[in-house]
Amino acid sequence: MIFVRCIVGLFCTVVATSFAYAGPIEDCSQENDLRLSVRACSKVIESNLLPEKLEVTYYFRGNAHRRLGNTRRALKDLHRSVEINPSYKHPYIELGIISKNRKNYKLALEHYNKALEIDPRFAKAYYNRGNVYFGMNKYTRSIADYDRATDLEPNYIFPYIGRAFSLLEMGDNKAALVSAEHALRLAPRNAHAAEIRAHILDEAKRN
């Protein structure tokens, strides 16, 4: 029996299998239950359900491990993913996030630069590299990357928030407010955008 499934733009394949295998494949990529994702991805790997997409399966499991706080297992899976397919861009984002969280900014930049070498139009890599520059207090560079991310994906909310924080650090509250309000138009309930907007308005009242 042929099972055709496309999941978040990463699993897009035709699998000659029974529909009994559809559950683990789909559960592996979902992000609502991370422990379920780990179990399902492990089943896909152990059962060799998608040998032609093994790097994707390791990526999903590594992503779930990272978000669950299991950095050691996340790194093992993410490195395995890029070992299988060095041109697969998504694991480099997760590796960069782990490096940034450890304040290893040099290594984080290497991961994001690698992702951009693979895909120069990868908005998520520009956004995350902007976060690294923000952590390094290089706000001009962070803004340049956030701007590039929104040029590529105008409805991508997070770079607008990052840009607002960078501009705030540079003392340009007016431009920061514009970015925060743009983010709120895209996602009216976003707490970070609402927080920075409220902060800017409160500061304006005091001055």
Q: What CATH number should be reported for the domain holding residue 167?
A: 1.25.40
Secondary structure (3-state) at 11:
strand
174 in a structural domain: yes
Give me the domain span that covers residue 168: 155-207
The region of weakest confidence among 2-16, 23-37, 160-174 is 2-16
Of 119, 171, 164, the C-alpha closest to 146 is 164
Q: State how many domains the chain has.
A: 1
Of 161, 107, 149, 160, the C-alpha closest to 132 is 107
The region of weakest confidence among 11-25, 93-107, 122-136, 175-189 is 11-25
45 in a structural domain: no
Secondary structure (3-state) at 119:
coil
Whether 169 and 189 have beta carbons less than 8 Å apart is answered as no
Q: What is the mean pLDDT of residues 127-132?
A: 98
Q: What is the mean pLDDT of residues 64-84?
A: 97
170 in a structural domain: yes
User: Residue 195, Cβ neighbours under 10 Å: how many?
Assistant: 14
160 in a structural domain: yes
Task: Give the whole-number percent of the chain exceeding pLDDT 90.
Answer: 77
Instruction: Answer whether residue 154 shows pLDDT above 60.
Output: yes
pTM of this prediction? 0.86
Instruction: Answer whether residue 155 shows pLDDT above 80.
Output: yes
Task: Give the whole-number percent of the chain exceeding pLDDT 70.
Answer: 89
200 in a structural domain: yes
102 in a structural domain: no
Mean of pLDDT over the chain: 89
Q: What is the mean pLDDT of residues 119-146?
A: 98
163 in a structural domain: yes
129 in a structural domain: no
Instruction: Answer whether residue 4 shows pLDDT above 50.
Output: no
The reported pLDDT for the residue numbered 207 is: 66
22 — pLDDT class (breaks 50, 70, 90): low
User: Residue 120, Cβ neighbours under 10 Å: how many?
Assistant: 11
